[in-house]
Structure 1
Amino acid sequence: MSSSDNTNAIAECTKQLRRHEVAIAELNNLPSSSAVYQRNCNLYFRTTIQKATTTEQKQLDSVKAKLRNLNPSSS
């Protein structure tokens, strides 16, 4: 992988990381009685805040692992 490709991949992972962090923060600030909708492909499904937070956390962990693999020198 070239340096430019690696830099672009790291930038994209960082963007995804921030997106998931913001989503988790927003979910944590919702009242427990709120309905949330989670995207699955091109459809949205109603779910609980806890399930949506768990899914976002899993995706965040996945992006963090990918970022560690792309940039092993910062570990």
Structure 2
Amino acid sequence: MASTWSSSTSAREFELEKEVKRHEVALDELSCLSSSRSVYQKNANLFFLATPEKAKTNAQKQLKHAKSEIDRIRSQT
């Protein structure tokens, strides 16, 4: 039973680490755009036009959340 919990936890942690990398790449790409550009930001299953600053703020929030989830998982083991 413990090995099943451990494998599912490590799989979740691996997925969160991949998510962190995706958000870090997105932040780097958004940082390279000028403020006059528009970008598409995904909210639920829809995409909306947004400024790079708004998209960057959203990506930072998601990155922070993913990192806190990883920390929570690591503190439980």
Residue 14 of structure 2 corresponds to which residue in structure 1? Answer: 11
TM alignment of 1:33-44, pairs within 5 A: 33-44=36-47
CA distance in 2, matches of 1:41, 1:57: 17
Residue 27 of structure 1 corresponds to which residue in structure 2? Answer: 30
TM alignment of 1:54-73, pairs within 5 A: 54-72=57-75
CA distance in 2, matches of 1:42, 1:4: 30
* TM-score normalised per structure 1: 0.89
Residue 52 of structure 2 corresponds to which residue in structure 1? Answer: 49
User: Runs ≥4 in structure 1, deviation > 4 angstroms?
Assistant: none
Larger Rg over CA atoms:
2
Root-mean-square deviation (Å): 1.4
Identity %: 41
Unmatched 5+ stretches in structure 2: none
* TM-score normalised per structure 2: 0.87
Unmatched 5+ stretches in structure 1: none
CA distance in 1, matches of 2:34, 2:67: 28
Compute the displacement of 1:31 (Å): 2.1
